[in-house]
Structures are given as C-alpha cells and as structure tokens.
Structure 1
Amino acid sequence: MHYTALVTGGSAGIGADICQRMLQDGWKVISLARRAPQWSHANFTTINVDLLDAAATAQAAQEIVQRFEVSHFIHNAGVIWPHLLQDATVDELQGLTQIHLGSALTLMQSVLPAMEKQAFGRVVLMSSRGALGLATRTNYSATKAGMIGMARTWALELAPKGITVNVVAPGPIQTPMFYDVVPSGSEREAKLAANIPVGRIGRPDDVTRAVMFFSDPANSFVTGQTLYVCGGASVGTLTI
C-alpha cells in the first residue's frame, strides 16, 4: 500500500521533522502551513494556508481531496499566545479553537472518505503537556485538552473502519515556537531543562518517533491514546 500523509504545520520545527521522516520512508507528504518550507522533495507537496482562516482551510481541504487519497492525517500546527488569566481574551480563545480544533475537524471530514474507501487510516493530533494545566496557558490548555477529547471520540467512531486516532502531547521542545516564548541560551531555558526529570529540553525527533509509532500500519490495536513526550514533565509540576 502506498501512503500519503497530510501534515499541518509541516514547514518548520516538529512538523518539518515529521515530513522529512515520512519522505525518507517513501511516503508522499502534503504540508499545510502559512509559510513555504526552505527545502523540497520530489514527493513533497506544500500548500500555503492560514489555518486560523476557516474558509481558507476548507478551500485547501477541497484541493487536497481532489488531488490525493490521504491515508495519514497529522494535525501538528499550533499557536501558544501565552497570557495570565486576567489578560486572556475570548478572541484569542476563538482563534486557538479554530487552529487546534476547527481546522482539524474540517480536514478530517475531508480526508475521511478516502480512509473509509481504503478501510485504513492513521490520525495523530498534536496536543501538549500544557493540556494538564500550565500558568499563562488558559486558552492554549483548554484547546489542547479539547484535542484529547475529540481524538478519543473519533477513535471510538472510526475503529470499526480500520482507522486509528491517537494523540501525541509534547513538553518543551527545541522549536522556533518554543524559543518565541523562552529565549534560546537564556537562564530561563537552563532552569527549565533542569526542572525536567530527564534533564534536558526535547528535540523534534523525540516527537517524530512517537508520531511514527502511531502512524505505523502494524499498530492497529492502539487507538484513543495520549502519549506525553515530555521527559517526565507530565508526572509532576513544571514551571516555564
């Protein structure tokens, strides 16, 4: 069977690492991201779209299903927008709801018929250790926690169709989005690493290996699960 993966946020960071690993394995990969990646591959298709725009996301979804039969859907794109409770806004909550939940729903509904036709599919939603609660993450934690509930529901509905749905929930990972919040090489970064049980910040490939486990066609008996890739940070408390 030939595999075609749709990866959101595939232009940089964790998403780019996932795309490159899948390409190495001989898959076709489609990336949906706001910016085009600075690299290319013969089996790599990029579509520029802002997933915060519901109409643009729906249009991109239609383009994809007209050109591809998607077997794997990896919803990796995300935004943090950190604020303390008193500064959190409903507008930002609605924005994070769209990118983390709304765009996932639109894209999944679009690729589902192809998965049903093949009686096979692998879906991985990228949540966060922050879903367990984290200061300055009111809106982010709420929507990332919502992804876990949504995935568990999809897993129940789609299991009889040969489609598994799982969640990867990373802790602090060395990505541009992480360094937008925590300055690279700062005392804050060093303190954070020291507070993680394994003693370091995660790397994109740490997350990619978890995604590839859930994406493996052989792993048909694992669905509705959440795997925290966080160096043990989900076991206790974490201060960023």
Structure 2
Amino acid sequence: MTASQIWNDVDDHFTALLAPADDALAAALRDSDAAGLPPINVTPNQGKLLKLLAEIQGARRILEIGTLGGYSTIWLGRALPADGRLLTLEYDPRHAEVARANLSRAGLGEVAEVRVGPALASLEDLAKEAPEPFDFVFVDADKANNAHYLEWAVRLTRPGSVIVLDNVVRGGAVTDAASTDPSVRGTRAALDLIAEHPALDGTAVQTVGGKGYDGFALARVRA
C-alpha cells in the first residue's frame, strides 16, 4: 500500500467518525463540482478544525478570503452564535453564485455575506467602512498575495484574534528560497511576516491526508 493510500484511508476513517457529511455539506460539494469549480475545497477534517477553532475563539465576526463554492464557509458559519456574522470574499462571480446558493441551502444566507471582486480591492473598501474588528480570519485565496492578505487581516482584527493561512507547504517547495513560483514566493513572504511581525505570534503545521502533502499556518494577534 502506498503512503498516499494510507493517508487517504486514515482521512476517510477520521471523516466518517468525526466529521461526517450532512445534506448541506454534501450538496455544496456536489453542486460545486457540477458547476465546474476546481476540486480544491478544504477536506472535511479541516473544515471541522476551522469550525472548532472559531468556536474555541468565541468568534462573533469571521472574515474569509477565498470562498470558492462556500464549503469552508458553511463550516465556519456553523461556529457562529446567533448574532454572529461572516464576510467572505470571492474573485469569480460564478463561484460566488454557487456559494450563495450553497449557503442559503445550509441556512446561512442571512449570516454570511459574499462579496465579489479582487480580494485586495474588496479589503481596501472594507477598511474604509471601519468595521468592527474580526475575531477570526481564514485566508485561502491566490497564494501570490498571501502576505498582502495577512497584512490586511492584521489591520482588520484585534488583539486576541486568530488567523489561519491555508496551503503553506506547496508540495515541499516552501523551503526553496530560489523559487520563482508566485505561489511559493507569496507563501514564503507570508510566513516571514508571521515570524517578524510584532503583532503576530504563530506557527505552521504540515499535514497529510486526502489532499496529499499540505499544511497550514496559525497565528494569533497580540497587543
């Protein structure tokens, strides 16, 4: 048995035991696939982890950068209290349309707002609104801009807020300082920022599973 098959089998076991799909989650994946969206959603295990982290944080306001079909958005939205709100930013109008339908079916249509457009422009517009700080931020968009998204996340949060940055291993290429891959360079810049920023304390974790060899960074905003 190959290593990847073992990873997949373990992920399947954990998912069936601890993060089983329900109708809304299964339909979100099914409809995203039917609409031709790329199959790059977080795994069920990671979706459950995001939910638990947001609940542990006691998050009332969540910002997600990168919506896709809204699968991770559903997990995050379920962590919110009755008065909680979630804002998610999506570049592609078609993806946003699918996500809105998935969120509505999951009963989160009034909780989660999907904004369409380049995330950096949306974040700049958001800052002008002077919103209440976000308690939890999930960054899972184009990797070339990871450091910029992280900078905005710090600006839009408060001491004690939590930031999760997805897909940081890049198949192991994150260690290559000479890489010309924009996704690798953007991820390395974001990790450097976590290491150096006076308002951030964080770490990164390698993972294996249904998405192969991957990982995420976790940071807390400090005073």
TM-score by length of 2: 0.45
The structure with the largest strand share of the pair is: 2
TM-score by length of 1: 0.43
